[in-house]
Amino acid sequence: MAVAFGAGTASQEADDLLAEYGERFGTLPERVTWRTIRTGSGLAINVFRTGNARGTAMVVHGYLDDSTAMSGIIRTCLESGWSVLAVDLPGHGLSGGPRADTRDLADYGRALSEAADFAAGYTEGGPLVAVAHSAGGLAALEWARLEAGNPASRLEGLFLMAPLVRPRAWWLLGPLTGIAGVFTDRLPVEANEGLFLNPKYLPLGWTGALRRWLRRTKDFPVLDLSAVIAYGEDENVLDVKYARRFFTRTLPGAEWISVEDGGHFGIAQGDASPVVRAALGPFLDGIARGSGR
């Protein structure tokens, strides 16, 4: 059963929390409605509806973040005439689950599939696209892998901003996790101290899930989807050379954007994001035209 927070049906505590959460999305364009629903599994989905929508964009945040960090991206989708499903990944934001933890990163893809199915009644028809940052990009890839075998799939495109494929210095994950694991099962994330809703600790179990994902990248299937992939020239978290090889094989027709002065977070949320959003509008237009909308 859905819990429609935006409709005022949640507990007072949730309503109070949602008020602060909603402020972080900023002022919405005219004729856009917003509500937050929660699936039976506890997944929180922000549904932004615009009249006569050309399609629906699944907007997905990165690790240790939540949907409100994607407010600029959400606005660009809405201004392009697309409704938006902004999902808080499991263990993030208003979603349930162990905070920032999972045994299998494919769970993130399954969460997007669940969100698309559950929220279908809240949006109009038309194509689906994923617009995702960092670990949200990994989630979008896993969702696309699931959809690849579905003849009724409406997923038609991926717009990925600094998608997580392999981090820099990935070979240190095992040794460092092993050493830290002698003393603790989680590490503090100082950058998130004082930030609203953001997880304050990185569970060491998540790094194990990341190592298992890295092994799967070698056999990831080819995806027949329109795609744009954007990395900043100042990317300081991910291994871009490896990502380029991965996407050349996995999304062979993708457009590649290299953003000048763009860092890992700024490409979706900061100074570099206007460049990315300028490419997002035409991408959405092309998908809509291809679907006759």
Residue 151 has pLDDT above 70, yes or no: yes
Q: Can you give the CATH number for the domain in which 163 is found?
A: 3.40.50.1820
pTM: 0.90
Tracing tokens 């457009």 back to the chain, one arrives at 255
pLDDT at 282 over 50: yes
Record the tokens describing residue 260, joined without a space.
């000048």
Mean pLDDT of the 18-47 span: 89
DSSP at 156:
E
pLDDT band at 155 (very low <50, low <70, confident <90, very high): very high
Range of the domain at 28: 5-290
Structure confidence by residue, pLDDT tens digits, 186-226: 666 665 544 456 777 778 888 889 989 999 999 999 999 99
| Averaged pLDDT score across all residues of the chain | 86
CA–CA separation, 213 vs 209, rounded Å? 6
Question: Which one-letter DSSP state was computed for residue 221?
Answer: P
Position 199 scores a pLDDT of 73
Number of domains, the chain: 1
For residues 137-144, give the mean pLDDT: 98
Helix (H, G, I), strand (E, B) or coil at 182: coil
Q: What is the pLDDT of residue 3?
A: 41
Mean pLDDT lowest for which of 13-17, 146-150, 267-271, 288-292? 13-17
Strand order in the sheet with 128-133: 32-38, 44-50, 83-88, 56-60, 128-133, 155-161, 226-232, 255-259
Pairing of strands 128-133, 56-60: parallel
Q: In this prediction, what percent of the chain has a pLDDT beyond 70?
A: 85
Q: What is the pLDDT of residue 137?
A: 98
Q: Do 84 and 124 meet the contact criterion of CB atoms below 8 Å apart?
A: no
Bridging pattern class, strands 201-203 and 186-188: antiparallel
pLDDT digits (tens, 9 = 90+) for 63-111: 999 999 999 999 999 999 999 999 999 999 899 888 888 999 999 999 9
Q: Which of 32-41, 116-125, 154-163, 255-264 has the highest mean pLDDT?
A: 154-163
